[in-house]
Amino acid sequence: MKKHIAHISKIDKILGAHIKRIGPIKRDGEKTLNPFEALVSAIVYQQLNGRAASVILGRVLALFGESDFPAPKDFLKMSDEKLRSAGLSRAKTAAIKDLAQKTIEGVVPTSIEIAKMKDDEIVERLVSVRGVGRWTVEMLLIRMGRHDVFPTTDYGIRKAFQLVYKKRKLPTPKVLEKHGEIWRPYRTMASLYLWRILDTYDK
């Protein structure tokens, strides 16, 4: 990761100053992440704080009474009523079942398949799942250790960018996309630092 940090620091002196202040960020990508399991969790966590989402996810998994993560077919067999009794909304229940169906159909790639695919190909495939947008897929890609992901619609990224570059207004995703070109091919590292910078401003 030193190569990534050195590239960004050299090409962008403003962000580089913050990188020097914060120091190295250790990053361990989960390259063998199971896409189905990761997306089930992502759907549950949408629009909820971490603690509440964790409790609901635990209740959902407990419905199946197994130590292993339930398979797509298990979710399809489970009634909507039982899933909702664990705390899932109607929309999230429908999204998880659509995810399960599309996983069985092969629309959702396996971890082996996804390792051979380009980022844009993965996004195109996964956003066809109900309730899964580009941001959710980008978070998955970052967790998988992809090097050049830049979630320009993420509020935290936009707010950090505003603070770092002293913008009067919250920048649009288009503005971020344009600036982020200089960070290629290591935009994930820039994203991680922007999130960390925002954390330091919030303290």
How does pLDDT run across 181-200, given as a tens digit for each residue? 999 999 999 999 999 998 88
The answer to whether 2-27+149-202 and 35-143 have equal CATH topology is no
- Does residue 202 surpass a pLDDT of 70? no
Say which residues have a Cβ less than 8 Å from residue 187's Cβ, sequence separation at least 6: 147, 148, 149, 150, 180
Q: By the 8 A CB rule, do 53 and 44 touch?
A: yes
**164-170, Cβ contacts within 8 angstroms, sequence gap of 24 or more:** 164/14, 164/15, 164/18, 164/194, 164/197, 165/14
For residue 93, give both structure tokens.
């229940």
148 tagged catalytic:
no
Q: pLDDT, tens digit, for every residue of 130-182?
A: 999 999 999 889 888 899 999 999 999 999 999 999 999 999 999 999 999 99
Name the band, by pLDDT with cuts 50, 70 and 90, for residue 5.
very high
Q: pLDDT, tens digit, for every residue of 120-139?
A: 999 999 999 999 999 999 98
The confidence score (pLDDT) of residue 84 equals 96
pTM score, two decimals? Answer: 0.81
With CA atoms as reference, report the closest residue to 64 among 44, 83, 81.
83
Please report, for residues 56, 98, 123, 193, the alpha-carbon distance to residue 40 in angstroms, rounded to integers and kept in the order given: 12, 11, 16, 27
Q: pLDDT, tens digit, for every residue of 55-75?
A: 999 999 999 987 789 999 999
Tell me the average pLDDT across 100-115: 94
- Region 2-27+149-202: CATH code: 1.10.1670.40
CA 45 and chain centroid, separation: 11
Name the band, by pLDDT with cuts 50, 70 and 90, for residue 1.
confident
Angle between helices 155-164 and 187-202 (to 10 degrees): 80
With CA atoms as reference, report the closest residue to 193 among 177, 172, 201.
201
- CA dihedral sign of residues 88, 94, 96, 100: positive
Tell me the average pLDDT across 82-99: 96
Spatial separation of the C-alpha atoms in residues 187 and 158, rounded to whole Å: 14
Superfamily of domain 35-143: Hypothetical protein; domain 2 (1.10.340.30)
Count of other CB atoms within 10 angstroms of residue 197:
22
Q: By the 8 A CB rule, do 5 and 24 touch?
A: yes
Name the band, by pLDDT with cuts 50, 70 and 90, for residue 32.
low
Pick the catalytic residue from 12, 148, 154, 202: 154
Spatial separation of the C-alpha atoms in residues 161 and 155, rounded to whole Å: 10
Domain boundaries in the chain? 2-27+149-202, 35-143
Q: Is 140 exposed, middle or buried (0-12, 13-18, 19+ CB in 10 A)?
A: buried
Radius of gyration, alpha carbons of the chain: 19
